[in-house]
Chains A and B, each alone.
Chain A
């Protein structure tokens, strides 16, 4: 049911004038993708520094909350750019992307990463002051940092898999994959 709705929505997006313009433009899609990928250096780059600091791997002599606070703004700016360009990338190729298994896993990992970031932030605020200048953060924050690193590595890896067609709807007959990727037409044809 949800797969049918998503596919209908994607097909509606696909025929939008601007969706086609983005895809057919000489460089527009490439520029969008390049901006999306290059902004990783701002968003995930800042996030990794915060996580590495929590684990005591970088700048151990600088207050951990100072690093987290000061890098919060560039990180958020980076993520906002990534969301805008990411949305436009989906808008340019809606059917292909919505029926990509990797895209779906990426979205789940993204959701998990944001829940983790929210919990991490709450824990950091609760523990503020007591550990700030310690070389490594308390155990629960270290676990949060490791989960964050693993989830974001997963998000980037899934993002990198999206252009590959190994398990595209047309390339697989595995029912579980077809269902997970939302390949409605292929499932109906079985």
Chain B
């Protein structure tokens, strides 16, 4: 009986399990125990890794990669807005939302990959600074959970059946959450530059 239920609702149980693990890790102070041990890696990536050395030595290369990071984030933003505003019924209303959701996903993955790679380069150049910034860790957390949300939750559901068979309020919630996630990733990223 339980194994049937587990098989039928494997995704929901996995989500629940992950949530429980995260809460337990937090309750037992695992995050705060790991944090001090991460500093040497951030110092290494800035002072000893080749990306850190290039980033800190050549300002023009660093600024150009920053621009590439901005461009990839702009592309992500455009794709997210087109997809999610379509799901909300605001944009591209005459194009089926299934078509938009599927058609933008590959470009989103490419833009996200470029954003992550250029982002690693940008963070490496200021590794010892971002380590101490709360906003950097918030961005990383939202980026990680946001990517998991896109690839393991939102996209699988939207690709699994016609959108007319999914509760419209659930679709709206997914779209608004997705916009919030990528806005937060971009806005916290901009704030890292100011701090």
Contacts and interface: CB of A to CB of B under 8 A. Distances in A.
**A–B touching in complex (CB under 8 Å):** yes
A45 B84 CA distance: 13
SS of B interface (majority)? helix
Interface residues of B, number: 37
Interface string B80-119: 1110010000011111000110011011000000000000
A166 B64 CA distance: 13
A112 interface: no
A8 B98 CA distance: 56
Interface in B55-76: 59-60, 63-64, 66-67, 70-71, 73-76
Nearest to B194: A30
B70 A37 contact: yes
Nearest to B108: A58
B191 A58 contact: no
B183 A49 contact: no
Interface of A: 30, 33-34, 37-38, 40-49, 52, 57-62, 66-67, 70-71, 74, 153, 156-157, 159-161, 164, 166
The 8 closest A-B pairs by CB, nearest first: A45-B78, A41-B77, A157-B67, A59-B103, A40-B74, A160-B67, A45-B77, A44-B74
5 contacts: A34-B191, A44-B74, A61-B103, A62-B95, A160-B63
